[in-house]
Amino acid sequence: MSIVVVGSVAYDTIETAHGGVTEALGGSAAYFAIAARFFTPVSIVAVVGADFRPEDLQLLAERGIDVRGLELQEGKTMRWHGRYHEDMNRRDTISVELNVFENFAPTLLPDQCRCDYLFLGNIKPGLQARVLEQVTSPKVVGGDTMNIWIENAREELIKLFSRLDLLTLNDEEARQLSGEHNLVKAGRAILKMGPRTVLVKRGEYGVLQFSKEGMFAVPAYPLEDVVDPTGAGDAFAGGVMGFLARHSRLTESALRTAVVYGTVLGSFVVEKFGLQRLADLSFEEVDQRYRAFIELTDSHYSRWISQ
């Protein structure tokens, strides 16, 4: 089944101790869509300015991403400028120019309104709700959020939670939202706020999944070189939703496999700046790393021993 994703498409300027890129294609919807497209058709809902480069549109379209919902407005495409610390887990936002994204009022096309899988990328909770209202009867709804909305639009955000099958957020956001420092407590507290599944992203430490069925803990794929973490969380979400949409079910076992595929997609993103690596990637590579990951985390050999 196909997915509709709403979120940002932006030009990112990224600095790390080892280099950087200037005004490279980025944004949560771009990372999400390319990752999810490995599994299933994806339709993107976002806004860009008159300066959006044709080659960037082509990059998305060439991968078979439906870009009819990429609204072109007068003005400039959103800009984000970030700088990572030596320790890649931390970054500072140097500047954000919302530009055309400031007045983004997403309107879905008629066929998008009938979608089964919907992902509400990290935008204002009010806009996420507005998108959700337009979809007739979605089977699975996922959503992401960030510190600004937890701080400034908490009520609207939580109101949305009972509609979410899947909420992704990072460890700091989980702590902020729940008021609990311990992530197990935080995850369980957020689960009680309404989402059917909560995925807490811990960067290089992996993911904790919380659902009624219990917890699932996965380490990150261990990498020798982390070049740029930007977009890894969005690609993770894309991998998770993509796998679920492809297999059309939301069982605990499908979720776990989806989370591993998401982890694998995220691990590729950080290997190069921006979405260069994701754009290069083949499904063979994804599947190969999925197998490597399973081997890397397999404590089941154990069963041979205990007998």
Q: Which is nearer to a copy of itself, 19 or 126 (CB)?
A: 19
| Tokens of residue 222, six digits | 């261990």
Q: Which is nearer to a copy of itself, 110 or 304 (CB)?
A: 304
Binding span for a copy of itself by CB under 8 A among 49-57, 68-76, 157-165, 199-207: 199-207
Q: For residue 55, what are the contacts with CB-CB under 8 A and spacing of at least 6? A: none
| Nearest Cα to Cα of residue 122 among 236, 262, 209 | 236
How many CA within 13 A on the CB side of residue 10?
Answer: 30
Site map (CB under 8 A) of a copy of itself, residues 70-109, x = contact: ----------------xx----------------------
Q: Which is nearer to a copy of itself, 95 or 302 (CB)?
A: 302
Shortest spacing between CB 61 and a copy of itself, in angstroms: 30
55 scored as a contact of a copy of itself (CB under 8 A) = no
Shortest spacing between CB 104 and a copy of itself, in angstroms: 36
Site map (CB under 8 A) of a copy of itself, residues 212-231, x = contact: --xxxxxxx-xxxxx-----
Distance between CA atoms of residues 215 and 210, nearest Å: 5
| Nearest Cα to Cα of residue 36 among 201, 281, 235, 247 | 235
* 66 DSSP assignment: B
Shortest spacing between CB 258 and a copy of itself, in angstroms: 9
| Tally of residues, the chain | 307
- Are the beta carbons of 7 and 121 closer than 8 angstroms? yes
Instruction: Please work out the total of residues on this chain that contact a copy of itself, with binding judged by CB under 8 A.
Output: 45
* 87 DSSP assignment: S
Shortest spacing between CB 13 and a copy of itself, in angstroms: 24
Distance between CA atoms of residues 127 and 306, nearest Å: 53
Q: Applying CB under 8 A, which residues contact a copy of itself?
A: 86-87, 181-185, 188, 202, 205-206, 208, 214-220, 222-226, 247, 252-254, 256-257, 259-260, 293-302, 304-306
